Structure 1
Amino acid sequence: MSPFAPDLWLVDGPAVTGAAGFRFPTRMAVVRLPDGGGLWVWSPVALTPEVRAAIDALGPVRHLVAPNALHHMFLAEWAAFWPDAVVHAAPGLTEAVARTTLHRTLGDAPDPAWAGTLDQVIVRGNRIATEVVFFHAASATILVTDLVQQIPQDWYRGWRSVVARLDLMTAPVPSVPRKFRLATTDRAAAREGVRRILDWPAERLVIAHGAPLEAGARDALDRAFGWLMR
């Protein structure tokens, strides 16, 4: 666990394997809510003893967040270890897939438990996944899971390296993968969500599959979503 901004920490988890044997780096964010609100955990990674110890040193876990229907792999083990935590899921994720109880569905307005600390917006119109993007106001940090990626260019080998390069998964700058672009069948709905994201006064950017940016978040997102907003 490493501090990224005041009351915001990042944890890099082990790689996970997806479709066609593609392995993905994982990253989770932890926000300490004010006034004893406990910890807000975004896109939980594998719950190792080291991660449990680091989390317990910060405070009680009150909220577990699955920001899209693809980021649920470790949700059940976190919910089992912290049974008092409220589990929040993006539209499209089911309890059968998550293998745990989902208490609330994320919307365009922040939950009262974190309103004023975190803002959020749903990016709709994509056939792969409906993603909820968050903004941590105090640190001017945007949190994105799959819509924007920048996996290291040497991460894959062989034909997967070629596919990842053509898909823009391993582009030299944070980019929306081509498969997500092609899966955006309702561009008007997607633009509405992205417009709100670009209105946030962002400085930092945290992506689940790529290195975080400590500056230049707004410019990076302008470039990443240029294909959609033109």
Structure 2
Amino acid sequence: MPSAQAAFPKAETYICPGIETKQPQMKFDWILGDKSPTAWEKDMEQVLVRGSRFMSEVAFFHKPSKTLLLVDLIENIGDKTEEVGLGIKLWWKAVFHMWNKPRPAPEYQIGWKDKKAAKHSLERMLAWDFERIILSHGDLIESDAKAAAREAWSAPLSSDA
């Protein structure tokens, strides 16, 4: 972050909740939440994903392009993913059974502490009119995106907690 801030000194820095305690020396302008800042509220919606023991994430929906933007809520690594190391391949195939199957990061899968809160956040995202998903880890999801998300999140969505 410091190098990006140095390269773009007039840009504002928005962070996910929790970063301010993990990185207290980091300078930032805003902590993200469920409400989009005025600067992008016309084009973007967002939700703070709740319920995880290990992670915080803010998911974004870009309305004009009907695109859901995620970090770890879905990872999509498989045969088509370029430059995957042997270690990741082994873990994703043999341990996590995520190879060629879009799923939440393992930290989410083992760390839903409040499934009711998680389910509420995920249902809010599924109510958005998205057609594609851009994610940080793996291949983009460019067809049947809503069905892929629903399947990826089936465990917390099916929870009665």
Q: Name the structure 2 match of 1:213.
A: 141
Pick from 91, 104, 122 the counterpart of residue 48 of structure 2. Answer: 122
Which residue identity is paired with 1:167? Answer: F
Distance 2:34 2:96 in 1: 29
Structure 1 residues 98 and 145: CA distance shift in structure 2, 3 A: farther
- The Cα offsets for residues 92-145 of structure 1, whole Å up to 9 and x where unpaired, read as 002762853111000101000000101000111112211100000001000000
Which 5+ residue runs of structure 2 have no aligned equivalent?
A: none
Are residues 1:150 and 2:79 paired? no
CA contact (8 A) 2:55 2:107 kept: no
- The Cα offsets for residues 27-64 of structure 1, whole Å up to 9 and x where unpaired, read as xxxxxxxxxxxxxxxxxxxxxxxxxxxxxxxxxxxxxx
Which residue identity is paired with 2:122? Answer: V
Are residues 1:138 and 2:64 paired? yes
Distance 1:196 1:223 in 2: 15
Q: Which is richer in strand?
A: 1
Q: Name the structure 2 match of 1:67.
A: none
Question: CA shift at 1:217, angstroms?
Answer: 1.2
Structure 1 residues 99 and 210: CA distance shift in structure 2, 3 A: farther
Distance 1:108 1:78 in 2: 25
CA contact (8 A) 1:79 1:100 kept: no
TM-score by length of 1: 0.62
Distance 1:101 1:175 in 2: 32
Question: CA shift at 1:176, angstroms?
Answer: 1.5
Q: Name the structure 2 match of 1:193.
A: 121
Q: Name the structure 2 match of 1:80.
A: 6
Identity %: 28
- Of stretches 188-197 and 209-218 in structure 1, the one that deviates more from structure 2 is 209-218
Are residues 1:94 and 2:20 paired? yes
TM-score by length of 2: 0.87
